[in-house]
Structure 1
Amino acid sequence: MSGETGGMSAAGGPGALRAARAARGWSQSDAARRLAALGEAAGAPVAAAPSLKTLLSRWENGHAVPEPQYRALLGELYERTPAELGIAGAAADPAAVGARERLLAALAAAAAVRQAGMESWWQQLAAATRLDDEFGAAGAGELVRAQADQLDETLTHTTATAQRAAVAAVLAWTTALAGAQELDRGRPDHAWLRYERARAAAREAEVPAAEAVAVAGQAAVLVDVGEAATAVEVVDAAGPFASDAAQTWLAAARAVARAAAGDAEEARAAIPAAVPTADALRPDGRPVVELADLHRWHGRTLVSLGDAGAAVRPLEQALAARPRSARHRAAVHADLALALAAEQPQIAAGHARTAREIATGIGAERIIARLSALHRER
């Protein structure tokens, strides 16, 4: 071939690829766009232009050798053979080539995320949240797990800071919901990991309400496995948050954890005031904190402290406020069964039956286990 770099030898040395581009007066961005267009015209699997610019820099600096499909496209782009461009390379290990291709594909897929894609994810999460409200993990578990894993994969391979924040925001809420579902299933180890991922994503996206929900989830995990003192440490180490809703969740988690640890005075002091705040919204548009939440937290704290008589009123108020989540309705009925067991066993048995029916329908083994403990005590 006769190219525009007449002095180039038959076998290009270091810098030949850069020289071929410079001879045409192209910037790396220019060359990346043209390379992407060539790939699209040829139906070849190539990364998007921004990712190609990064790859082109690595190839020109000798930090990597282009894969076969890129060597062919570069040869066509510059009207040179790969040898003349100094990118012929040695025979590659097929496994290594496959690994590189998988990474490039993942980077390209993440780079392709645009605002329309984010809107679709938010819509899917809102739908999954509504489905979870009615059917819990039994109806929405697979959907939430799939979305959480896909978002995690996307965030891992997203390089742009602004885009990372957008992905992290929806990931935070999705994995927090996944954590609640894992806790329902009686899988505290999986729940812990989901909540930990939610906390990290919420911090990156600067969404304090989602972070507080995740902290409260981890505290619940620790209480469930008998580590109430550690739950108190986790909650006390979090925050403060610049969000009333986040601070309310944190206070509720502190009250429940302190009660489980037997610290009655601190638990009572931590119970959030019964005034809901709407300074943060969930993906489905409802407030992060609702009146039913405040009453059920209050009642749960008093049940944990053994103050059954005082717990009944806030728990009944929680039911009257109509919790949207079947998970929360089942939990309130279970707490009422515990609170009323000694003084009003028949009414307690009714709440226990209702809690069990709801828990069975949504796959909440955690609540069923609590009810089984009540049955053993009786």
Structure 2
Amino acid sequence: MTGTRRAPLLAQSALARARDTRGWTQQAAAREYTRVASELNIPAAEPDSLRISISRWERGEHTPDEQNRKVLRRLYNLTDEELGLTSRPRLILGDETAELAARLASTARVDVALIGAFDQQTQSLRLQDRTFGAASLLDQMSAHIHQVQGHLGHSMTSGVRAGLARVLADAGALAGWQALDAGAAMRAWEHFNLAKTAAREAGEPILLAHAIGEQAYALLEVGDPHGALDAIKCAAALGPHPPLLTAWLAAAEGEFAAASGSTTMALRAFDRAQHFLPAGSADESLPFLALNDAHLTRWRGSALTRLGNPEAIEDLTHALNAIDQGSFVRALAGLHTDLATAYAVTGDRDQARTHIRLARSLAAQIGSQRLLRRLDSIPLPGLASQDL
């Protein structure tokens, strides 16, 4: 057989895959790049020139500098490593000894006050995440975890190691949740594993149970609700836990049971969560849990939505009127997503369309790829996608 021999296709670069995942052409990516650069107060080239730069970056002909990488990280909500923009520096003989000595000396200055400052930094990032989403925090979160992990890796003092491990367990679980929301499932899984390892070193079953519970959502995300159920039961078995964590684990079990199609198990789990939910303010010893009557009602409504139960609308509407909409933007976006789904199930296209628009706007603001995917999957017979 004769004919022209076709040249082998080049493997798509990570940067090109990130763009392709968004469904953008290089021209569209250039427009989005310009928008993000403006938000970061970073100057951008003209669109045509920028499109050429993007093409060269994707082909590996040029490497973007730090300012361009900062824009690309925000644009795609991915790390340098995930974008294929990292390279190992060439080691110079003799430098390793000096570097190790410097890191050991730096870690020797870590004390209780500094560990407390790291803990407060995690809490600050958590509060910002609830309001603004993970997209704007990727660099800060990565740097925070890298710093704490670095000190933990160079400390030989048991008390300091335990304190740093507690911080890392909390921060790792938060980073895992952020990555899951951003659609970076592998990064999320690695962060959750890091959080579990740190919680075990710290000897903190509460932090371990929380990390396992959040990692269970990665199983749900990949379509394994039964695996998620098994994981959440393992987390609960590490107890006894404080009432707030017990309620949180029970509510998660209810959601996973609903995803598995078990109405009875789901409702019983939410009844158990309501029973254990403490009255009044949140537990200050569990800053990573934001659960009150309004959030539990939202959670139950979301589970009922999965089950196609029309009672979901009542729960979700009640939660919409009760939730702190200014501080919990991701929760609000999820609430509108659930309401859109529930109304679509009942055939109320007008209400469904209204909530889709609200949810899509909020999800775009916080960069929630997980919610945007859910919104794209809501069936509205007879309604064209451009009408949304």
- In the superposition, the TM-score normalised over structure 2's length comes to 0.67
For residues 329 and 174 of structure 1, what CA distance do their matches in structure 2 show? 23
Is the aligned partner of 1:361 residue 2:360? Answer: no
For 2:152, give the aligned amino acid: L
State yes or no: 1:350 paired with 2:354.
yes
- What secondary structure sits across from 2:274 in the alignment? coil
| Other-structure match for 2:283 | 280
1:251 paired to 2:246:
no
> Does structure 2 conserve the Cα–Cα contact (< 8 Å) formed by 1:274 and 1:295?
no
Residue 371 of structure 1 deviates from its aligned partner by: 0.2
Cα distance between partner residues in 2 of 1:236 and 1:366: 24
Counterparts in 2 of 1:289 and 1:281: CA distance versus 1, 3 Å: farther
Q: Deviations over 1:236-274 (max 9, x none)?
A: 222332211221221122111122122222222111217
Equivalent pair of 2:169/2:196 in contact (CA under 8 Å): yes
Contact (CA 8 Å) 2:188, 2:218: kept in 1 or not? yes
User: Is residue 312–residue 340 contact of structure 1 (8 Å, CA) maintained in 2?
Assistant: yes
Do the aligned residues in 2 keep the contact of 1:155 with 1:164 (CA within 8 Å)? yes
- SS of the residue corresponding to residue 173 of structure 1 reads helix
Change in CA separation of 1:318 and 1:213 when aligned onto 2, cut-off 3 Å: farther
Alignment of 1:362-377 (within 5 A): 362-375=366-379
Question: Counterpart amino acid of 1:232?
Answer: L
| 1:218 to 1:286, Cα distance in 2 relative to 1, 3 A | closer
Q: Residue in 2 aligned with 1:143?
A: 140
- Deviation for aligned residue 1:376: 6.7
1:295 corresponds to which of 254, 276, 297: 297
- For the pair 1:185 / 2:158, whether they are aligned, the reply is no
The residue that corresponds to 2:224 in the other structure is: 227
Secondary structure of the structure 2 residue equivalent to 1:374: coil
Tell me how far apart the structure 1 counterparts of residues 333 and 206 of structure 2 sit (CA, whole Å). Answer: 24
- Distance, in Å, in 2 between the alignment partners of 1:374 and 1:104 is 56
One-letter identity of the residue aligned with 1:301: A
> Which residue does 1:77 correspond to in 2?
none
Matched, 1:326 2:326: no
| Whole-angstrom CA distance in 2 between matches of 1:206 and 1:352 | 44
Report the Cα distance in structure 1 between the residues aligned to 2:133 and 2:285, rounded to whole angstroms.
16
Residues of 1 paired with 2:169 and 2:155: CA distance?
Answer: 15
1:218-248 deviation digits (Å, cap 9, x = unpaired): 1111111111121112112223322112212
Query: Of 308, 315, 332, which residue of structure 2 is paired with 1:306?
Result: 308
Which residue does 1:176 correspond to in 2?
173
- What residue in structure 1 maps to residue 340 of structure 2? 337
Shift of 1:372: 0.2
Letter in 2 for 1:326: V
How far off its partner does 1:289 sit?
Answer: 2.4
2:262 corresponding residue in structure 1: 263
Measured in 1, the distance between the counterparts of 2:285 and 2:380 equals 38
Letter of the aligned partner of 1:180 in structure 2?
A: W
Shift of 1:279: 6.8
Cα displacement string for residues 91-116 of structure 1 (whole angstroms, at most 9, x for unaligned residues): xxx96643333333333322221123
Cα distance, 1:135–1:320 mapped onto 2, change above 3 Å: same
**Match in the other structure for 1:23:** none
Change (3 A) 1:287 1:366: closer
CA distance in 1, matches of 2:235, 2:93: 43
Find the residue that maps to 2:223 and give its secondary structure. Answer: coil
Q: Does the Cα contact within 8 Å between 2:344 and 2:380 map onto a contact in 1?
A: no
Partners of 1:254 and 1:157 lie apart in 2 by 38
* Structure 1 stretches of 4+ moved >6 Å: none
Q: Which consecutive unaligned segments of at least 5 residues does structure 1 have? A: 1-93
Q: Does the 8 Å CA contact 2:344/2:379 hold for their aligned counterparts?
A: no
C-alpha contact 1:243 1:279 (8 A) present in aligned 2: no
Letter of the structure 1 residue corresponding to residue 297 of structure 2: H
Quick check: 1:196 aligned with 2:196?
A: no
CA distance 1:128–1:181, shift in 2 (3 Å)? same
Q: State the Cα deviation string for residues 330-372 of structure 1 (Å, max 9, x = none).
A: 1111011101113322112111111111110010011000000
Count, aligned residues:
283
Whether contact under 8 Å (1:151, 1:171) holds in the other structure is: yes
Contact 2:313 2:339 in 1 (8 A): yes
**d(CA) in 2 for partners of 1:176 and 1:287?**
12
* Residue ranges of structure 2 left out of the alignment (5+ in a row): 1-90, 384-388
Give the structure-1-normalised TM-score.
0.68
Partner of 2:160: 163
Cα distance in structure 2, aligned partners of 1:288 and 1:130: 11
Distance 1:230 1:183, change over 3 A: same
Aligned residue number for residue 129 of structure 2: 132
Shift of the alpha carbon at 1:294?
1.0
Question: Which AA in structure 1 matches 2:184?
Answer: R
Structure 1: which amino acid aligns with 2:201?
A: E
Match of 2:59 in 1: none
Q: State the one-letter code of the partner of 1:320.
A: N
Give the direction of change, closer, same or farther, for the CA distance of 1:296–1:175 in structure 2 (3 Å limit): same
Q: Which letter maps to 1:331?
A: G
Q: Distance in 2 between matches of 1:191 and 1:95?
A: 34
Higher alpha-carbon Rg: 1
